Amino acid sequence: MNWGKIAIVTLLGGGIAAGAGVWYTQEYAFFDRIDPSSPEARITVETTSGPVPLALTDFEGINADSSPIRWRICGRAETLPEGMIPAPNSQPLNGPRWFSCYDAQQIGADLQSGAATAWLAQSEVRTDVDRILVTYPDGRVFGWHEYNEKNPERGVMD
């Protein structure tokens, strides 16, 4: 074997290892499941009369400390509070593939078709980040965090 072949194998091996590492960190490394009995699983919804707790069953959730927009939830709500604030321009963000209850493409298509409705659950969960919930008539609820447009000069986050 000559040195050229060794260099090519080393470069290809390093590239494959780096790609696998990036994939793993995006899909698995920083996500934690949210315990349904934890305070983080208690969802409130902003209404015209103030924040109201939302009781969810079949709760599943994930979050990560590495980014303010990695929060995702799925669940069911028996009833929705009166006076919820619409979030008409919201689009769901993709979640990791292993979090199978959350399908961003389907939720986005349902928002466009009118089969689901987006609501502002909490404004400014973190600076420039809002919590969005999507509800279906059958009681399904999905949620994510997204950057808001309250501060267009924020620059790098656009």
Per-residue model confidence as pLDDT tens digits over 63-110: 988 888 889 999 999 999 999 999 988 999 998 889 999 999 999 999
Q: Which of 39, 63, 44, 40 is nearest to 55 (CA)?
A: 44
Could you say which DSSP state residue 18 is in? Answer: H
Task: Give the Cα separation of 150 and 118 in Å (integer).
Answer: 18
The pLDDT, as a whole number, for residue 156 is 53
Dihedral, CA atoms, 132, 104, 117, 125, nearest 10 degrees? Answer: 0
Residues 98, 56 contacting (CB under 8 angstroms):
no
With CA atoms as reference, report the closest residue to 117 among 74, 155, 78, 85: 85
Q: How confident is the model at residue 6 (pLDDT cuts 50, 70, 90)?
A: confident
> What is the amino acid identity at position 126?
R
- For the cut 70, the answer to whether the pLDDT of residue 124 exceeds it is yes
* 31 against 101, higher pLDDT: 101
Q: What is the dihedral angle through the alpha carbons of 9, 11, 17, 22, rounded to the nearest 10 degrees? A: -160
Give the model's pLDDT for residue 153. 57
